[in-house]
């Protein structure tokens, strides 16, 4: 059975400034109206009997069981099941997330790239797109989505809502700082409800502007803004599922029921926060291993206690080129014992000074850095030794996993994108960029781009949104 004292389907802000809302209201709110992030009032605890009953479930049924306590009565069970079926019908494998041995010893790989845009973001954003459409079907009205991306979120969000009635989507991405194929997955989509905004700056600039616009409550409410970034709780929830799934499959394949370690390449702390939720629920995860590239604000924090931003460095793993991790606030809230007042104070300190310090360590986390040389060496090693072609983000995770084994534990490494999205990085590692290919990506190369280049300021972006909505109406 699943034990809970508070209601996991009610949502509060990490900064304590809102009354609790139900699941559908949390989805539509996106960023909490007090500037914080929405979190469930409780994280349900899964006992051993329930875990055993979940092991044999297929991915769709497991997703239903994991999500159900967080959804509560906001959606009928039959509706939730249908949303899950519809969302993963677009994947090219019935496993949704295949789990495979990587080195024949202690490492396993989770292939999170079998959705329509070949990235792990599809796992959450196919679900979120259908969820938005269902809520609008029930309530009526319209939704104008605003998101910022360092590469994969934008295309996955666009493909989750393209052509859907009542929804417009505006995606900010840093000009010249995403891979050419990542840009083409966004800016070649022809649907009229898709609006790509290339900004003159970094992902952090886009994320900052996005958050400032969501904190402009009159503008947000008047223009019916919704969020698809991992500030939206539904995205985290959909990702929690594959941590249970991955742990079960590793245990099954290895013939052991020992808890595992999961290595997660991350920049915005959303993916690994989903793992943290799964671990708190009772998933058989002994440790989460956080892997960063040269933009190592998160790995530095878990190794030193100091969370201090620096300048963004462009790397071979652009989706992780981030210095301000938006989901860190959710973790901070739990690290502080769910103390919203302390969380609010520390986030204000970080906004003012660019740095905060926490004392003590969290045994659930370890962290490491996989820089460019380690990324290239890891891609080369695993292709030549095991015939596995890694993308540069997954390679960061594998490099850190190999440097940080947990005695007695198998390690599951998350491969977050298809290597075909990053032929230049693969070519640099192997001396041959023709190895990293995918037919759906090749077809994009001849299509025209539809994008608008803008300065990353609130007035400029708000004006563009207003003018575009007026034209579309």
Query: What average pLDDT does the structure give for the chain?
Result: 95
- pLDDT surpassing 50 at residue 3: no
In a domain, 404, yes or no: yes
Virtual torsion, Cα 304, 309, 311, 317, nearest 10 deg: 70
Decide if 435 contacts 285 (C-beta within 8 A): no
Average confidence (pLDDT) over 103-121: 94
pLDDT at 4: 42
* pLDDT(439) > 50: yes
The parent domain of residue 324 ranges over 99-115+234-437
Q: Does residue 277 lie within any of the structural domains? A: yes
Q: Are 190 and 450 in contact (CB under 8 A)?
A: yes
Average pLDDT over residues 389-411: 97
State the pLDDT at residue 151.
74
Asked if 88 and 97 count as a contact pair (C-beta separation under 8 A), the reply is: no
Residue 1 has what pLDDT? Answer: 44
114 with 132: CB under 8 angstroms? Answer: no
Q: Report the number of distinct structural domains present in the chain.
A: 1
121 catalytically annotated: yes
Tell me whether residue 390 is in a domain. Answer: yes
Give per-residue burial for 87-103: e unless 16+ CB within 10 Å, then b: bbebbeeeebbbbebbb
Cα 238 to Cα 158, 231, 414: the distances in Å are 17, 13, 15
For the stretch 290-342, pLDDT in tens is 999 999 999 999 999 999 999 999 999 988 988 999 899 999 999 999 999 99
Could you tell me if residue 165 is inside a domain?
A: no
Domain-located, residue 288? yes
Q: Note the pLDDT of residue 229.
A: 82
Contact in structure between 378 and 398 (CB atoms under 8 Å): yes
Q: Is pLDDT of 408 > 90? A: yes
What is the pTM for the complete model shown? 0.93
What is the model's pLDDT at position 119?
94
Could you report how far apart the first and last alpha carbons of the chain are, in Å? 50
Q: What is the pLDDT of residue 230?
A: 85
| Per-residue pLDDT at 262 exceeds 80 | yes
CA angle 273, 366, 271 (to 5 degrees): 20
Q: How confident is the model at residue 24 (pLDDT cuts 50, 70, 90)?
A: very high
CATH number for the domain that contains residue 345: 3.40.50.1100
- Within-domain flag for 196: no
**Residue with tokens 């972006």, as numbered in its chain:** 461
The answer to whether residue 215 scores a pLDDT higher than 80 is yes
Q: Helix 270-281 vs helix 328-335: angle between axes, to the nearest 10 degrees?
A: 30
Examine the pLDDT at 343 and tell me if it is beyond 80.
Answer: yes
Percentage of the chain beyond pLDDT 70 is 99
The answer to whether residue 189 sits within a structural domain is: no
Asked whether residue 77 is domain-assigned, the answer is no
Choose, from 3, 4, 121, 220, the residue flagged as catalytic.
121
């Amino acid at each position: 059975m699943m034990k809970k004292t508070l209601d996991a389907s009610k949502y509060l802000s990490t900064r304590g400034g809102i009354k609790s809302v139900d699941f559908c209201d949390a989805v539509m709110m996106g960023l909490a109206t007090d500037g914080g992030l929405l979190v469930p009032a409780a994280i349900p605890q899964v006992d051993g009997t329930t875990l055993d009953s979940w092991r044999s479930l297929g991915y769709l049924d497991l997703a239903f069981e994991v999500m159900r306590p967080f959804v509560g009565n906001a959606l009928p069970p039959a509706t939730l099941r249908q949303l899950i079926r519809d969302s993963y019908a677009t994947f090219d494998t019935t496993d949704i997330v295949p789990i495979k041995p990587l080195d024949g010893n202690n490492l396993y790989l989770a292939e999170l790239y079998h959705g329509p845009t070949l990235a792990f973001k599809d796992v959450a954003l196919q679900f979120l797109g259908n969820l938005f459409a269902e809520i609008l079907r029930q309530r009526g009205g319209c939704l104008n989505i605003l998101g910022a991306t360092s590469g994969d979120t934008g295309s996955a969000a666009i493909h989750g809502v393209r052509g859907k009635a009542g929804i417009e989507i505006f995606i900010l991405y840093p000009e010249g700082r995403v891979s050419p194929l990542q840009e083409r997955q966004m800016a070649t989509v022809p649907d009229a409800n898709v609006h790509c905004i290339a900004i003159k700056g970094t992902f952090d600039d886009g994320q900052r502007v996005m958050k400032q616009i969501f904190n402009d409550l009159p503008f947000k409410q008047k223009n019916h803004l919704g969020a698809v970034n991992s500030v939206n709780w539904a995205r985290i929830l959909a990702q929690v599922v594959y941590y249970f799934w991955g742990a079960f499959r590793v245990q099954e394949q290895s013939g052991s029921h020992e808890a595992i370690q999961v290595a997660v390449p991350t920049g915005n702390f959303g993916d690994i926060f989903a793992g943290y939720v799964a671990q708190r629920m009772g998933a058989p995860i002994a440790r989460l291993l956080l892997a960063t590239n040269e933009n190592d604000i998160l790995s530095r924090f878990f190794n030193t206690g100091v969370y201090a931003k620096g300048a963004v460095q462009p790397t071979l793993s652009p989706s992780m080129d981030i210095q301000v991790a938006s989901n860190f606030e959710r973790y901070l809230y739990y690290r502080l014992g769910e103390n919203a007042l302390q969380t609010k104070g520390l986030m204000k300190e970080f906004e003012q000074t660019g740095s905060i310090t926490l004392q003590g360590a969290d045994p659930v986390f370890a962290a490491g850095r996989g820089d460019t040389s380690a990324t290239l060496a890891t891609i080369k090693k695993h292709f030549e030794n095991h015939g596995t072609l890694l993308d540069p983000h997954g390679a960061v995770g594998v490099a850190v996993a190999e440097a940080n084994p947990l005695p007695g534990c198998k390690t599951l490494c998350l491969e977050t994108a298809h290597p075909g999205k990053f032929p230049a990085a693969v070519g640099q590692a192997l001396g041959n960029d023709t190895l990293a290919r995918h037919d759906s990506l090749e077809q994009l190369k001849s299509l025209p781009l539809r994008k608008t280049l803008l300065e990353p300021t609130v007035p400029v972006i708000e004006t563009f949104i207003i003018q575009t909505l007026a034209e579309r109406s």
